[in-house]
Amino acid sequence: MSSAPTFIAHRGEASRYPENTVVALQGAIDGGIRHLEFDVQLSADRVPVLSHDAVLTRTAGLERIVSAGLAAELTDIGVGEVSRFGDTFQSQRLPSLQRVLQALESAPPLHLFVELKRHSLRAFGRQRVIEAALPLLRTSPHKITVISFDYDVLELLQSIDGLGTGWVLSAYDDAAKVRLQALSPDFVFCNQVRLPPRGLLWQGSWHWAIYEIASISEVHTLLERGASHFESMRAAELKRQWHDQV
């Protein structure tokens, strides 16, 4: 039988809480998850903040571009996802990376997967994003892996820092395989819909982390194909279901 899966909370326990918020990350921890993923963008004054989208329409109901707003303004914006949760989380504000790391300081040992978003990398340049985020990440007592769709920023990180890296695949094809072997990151992330329907995943020194996981049956299938980490907005719930089965 394959090894037990490791579950990663995708933007926190985002099925039950507003994504990329302190409450979503804490909800995952409270549910027994010790691997958390969240997204980082830069504000106009180059302060790292948590947001998946470049524009806050979906989470805040505002046509605000993250990279065009000052951090002091952005972190006062409610991101309680009214369209999903009504007023339940109206107190949740867009958090800075510093605030999140401070909130997690006293948590049990965690593995944080911090995604550097392409919008900010394009807007500010890779070096500036790294210079803004890395000093904060180095203060964390937890294990850190920096992930991105952007191959070049991961190459740069590998050359200047000892943090782990993870490449998020845009495609599962021969060209990506060649680049993956050259980069040899610690993790490879891939949306399950981009995978071929069957067969072992590419083997190497990396760990496979498959995201948009919604069911335990998907976990079983992908474990047999060589995946070890499973990223879901329902990570805590899936972990409970897994343990109930075994």
What does the pLDDT look like over 38-91, one tens digit per residue? 999 999 999 999 999 999 999 999 999 999 999 999 999 999 999 999 999 999
Within-domain flag for 227: yes
pLDDT of residue 1: 40
Q: Look at residue 24 and tell me whether its pLDDT is greater than 80.
A: yes
pLDDT of residue 171: 98
Residue in this structure with the two tokens 């904060």, named with its chain if needed: 136
Neighbours of 182 (CB within 10 A): 9
Q: How many domains does the chain have?
A: 1
d(CA 136, CA 131): 9
Share of the chain above pLDDT 90, in %: 96
The mean pLDDT value for 20-24 works out to 99
pLDDT of residue 2: 60
Within-domain flag for 38: yes
151-160 and 174-183 are packed helices; what angle lies between their axes, rounded to 10 degrees?
Answer: 10
Q: Which residues 6+ apart lie within 8 Å of 174 measured at CB?
A: none
Within-domain flag for 10: yes
Share of the chain above pLDDT 70, in %: 99
Tell me which residue range forms the domain holding 35: 6-245
Within-domain flag for 68: yes
Which is it for strands 48-50 and 35-42: parallel, antiparallel or unpaired? antiparallel
What is the pTM for the complete model shown? 0.97
Within-domain flag for 84: yes
Q: What is the pLDDT of residues 155-207, one digit of tens each?
A: 999 998 778 999 999 999 999 999 999 999 999 999 999 999 999 999 999 99
Q: Look at residue 231 and tell me whether its pLDDT is greater than 90.
A: yes
Within-domain flag for 159: yes
| 246 pLDDT tier (thresholds 50, 70, 90) | confident
Within-domain flag for 39: yes
Q: Report the mean per-residue pLDDT for the chain.
A: 97
CATH number at residue 135: 3.20.20.190
Within-domain flag for 1: no
Q: Which two tokens stand for residue 121?
A: 């990398």
